[in-house]
């Protein structure tokens, strides 16, 4: 069974090297991870490390060009979510693997139509533990409500989920069991949460209508 941390941020975006992340994640029980940025093509790590082209604040008119750039075998394309119109464009853009940061979208930024598109196109929806841990009070409750909406839509449309720590430091890492425990406050389907650690493999190797370049 694949157990991938769906996104960590190595130096210079974070404080930790890729090799240190890989070693720590291996010890926590992961079988792989996705790092935002580039890995050395000659690097050898304790677990498989894939790279994410994590595109943030990108105009909709540039999505096709940026997502369509040739990708290596171990590279995936992540897009930061926006409003509903932008997210619908992302979900219908060939080459996109995961829609990230959905918890920061405006009200109805990820609606039923977006959920249906994600399911049909086999685009993952990224959920991270970071806001559940770092935020407090009303901010944390807002994220919880957003995640509840996403899990409700997932139950109906069955789009893939990608779980991650969004770690920028070793102290931010959580074991798969700890991440499941955090999300179990919102979702009582433990099998779904467990399987979500491996969906990045299915997304990368999808055979649906999205054309991978």
Q: pLDDT grade, residue 210 (50/70/90)?
A: very low
pLDDT at 8 over 90: yes
Q: What is the pLDDT of residue 213?
A: 32
Q: pLDDT grade, residue 207 (50/70/90)?
A: low
Q: pLDDT grade, residue 41 (50/70/90)?
A: low
pLDDT at 188 over 60: yes
* Residue scoring higher pLDDT (160 or 37): 160
Neighbours of 186 (CB within 10 A): 19
pLDDT at 142 over 50: yes
Express each pLDDT in 152-185 by its tens digit.
999 999 999 999 999 999 999 999 999 999 999 8
Q: pLDDT grade, residue 151 (50/70/90)?
A: very high
Q: pLDDT grade, residue 42 (50/70/90)?
A: low
For the residues 188-211, what does the mean pLDDT come to? 83
Express each pLDDT in 16-31 by its tens digit.
999 999 999 999 999 9
Q: What is the pLDDT of residue 44?
A: 84
Q: What is the pLDDT of residue 15?
A: 95
For the residues 84-99, what does the mean pLDDT come to? 96
Single pTM value for the model: 0.92
pLDDT at 66 over 80: yes
Domains of the chain in sequence order? 53-204 (3.20.20.140)
CA dihedral 6, 57, 94, 199 (to 10 degrees): 10
- Terminal-residue alpha carbon distance, the chain: 27
For the residues 85-95, what does the mean pLDDT come to? 96
CA 104 to chain centre: 14
């Amino acid at each position: 069974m694949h157990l991938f941390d769906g996104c960590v941020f190595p130096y210079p975006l974070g404080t930790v090297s890729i090799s240190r992340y890989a070693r720590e994640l291996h010890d926590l029980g992961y079988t792989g991870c996705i790092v935002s940025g580039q890995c050395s093509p000659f690097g050898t790590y304790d677990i498989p490390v894939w790279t994410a082209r994590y595109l943030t604040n990108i105009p909709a008119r540039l999505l096709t060009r940026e997502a369509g750039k040739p990708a290596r075998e171990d590279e995936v394309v992540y897009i930061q979510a926006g409003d509903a119109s932008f997210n619908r464009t992302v979900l219908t853009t060939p080459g996109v693997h995961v829609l990230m940061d959905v918890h920061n979208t405006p009200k109805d930024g990820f609606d039923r139509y977006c959920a249906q598109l994600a399911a049909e196109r086999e685009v993952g929806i990224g959920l991270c533990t970071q806001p559940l841990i770092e935020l407090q009070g009303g901010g944390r409750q807002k994220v919880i409500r957003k995640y509840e909406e996403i899990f409700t839509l997932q139950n109906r449309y069955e789009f893939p989920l990608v779980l991650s720590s969004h770690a920028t430091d070793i102290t931010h890492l959580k074991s798969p069991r700890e991440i499941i425990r955090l999300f179990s406050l919102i979702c009582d389907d433990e099998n779904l949460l467990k399987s979500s650690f491996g969906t990045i493999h299915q997304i990368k190797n999808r055979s649906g209508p999205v054309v991978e370049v």
